[in-house]
Amino acid sequence: CARIDDALPLYERAAEKGHPAALYTLATFYSDGLLLPQSDTKAVSLYRQAAERGHPDAMYRLHEFCLNGWGLPQSAKDADQWLERAAQASHPHSIFLLAMTHPTLEKPVLLARAAQLGHVVAMHEVGTYHLQAANEA
């Protein structure tokens, strides 16, 4: 019978070996106070390690932490950099956010990419663009 208490040491050992998903999971445990005491500072450190190893969800979480000043100084510039890195790593919600919040970028292209990656709101937005284009024709 599996026990939740057995999971934590396994995640910790995998994280010590640099496993990106284990680092991300431990960061989330710290962020949420699940199995470990809540600590945004420890979460940031682990999210950063996971992000540096290419974990797109960790990049997105760092965007959120930088934007809100959780566990590190608030910085819109750093938040944008992490959002862009997450989008470059094909994180669907990051691509969607870039499309919706950065008017200088090619919105339809970004929305189409997010939709292709399974972002349902982006799918709706792309469908709306197609309907509008059909009505204008």
Angle at 85 between CA 83 and CA 90, to 5 degrees: 95
> What confidence category does residue 2 fall into, taking pLDDT thresholds of 50, 70 and 90?
low
pLDDT tens column, 97-121: 999 998 777 998 999 999 999 999 9
Residue in this structure with the two tokens 């949420």, named with its chain if needed: 32
> What confidence category does residue 78 fall into, taking pLDDT thresholds of 50, 70 and 90?
very high
Burial of 129 (0-12, 13-18, 19+ CB in 10 A): middle
pLDDT at 137: 75
Share of the chain above pLDDT 90, in %: 85
Residue 79's CB is within 10 A of a number of other CB atoms, namely: 18
Burial of 4 (0-12, 13-18, 19+ CB in 10 A): exposed
pLDDT tens column, 82-95: 999 999 999 999 99
Look at the pTM and tell me if it is higher than 0.85: yes
pLDDT at 116: 97
- What DSSP character marks residue 51? H
pLDDT at 52: 98
Torsion of CA 12, 13, 18, 21, to 10 degrees: -60
pLDDT tens column, 7-45: 999 999 999 999 999 999 999 999 999 999 999 999 999
pLDDT of 1 > 60? The answer is no
Q: For residues 70 and 44, is the Cβ–Cβ distance under 8 A?
A: yes
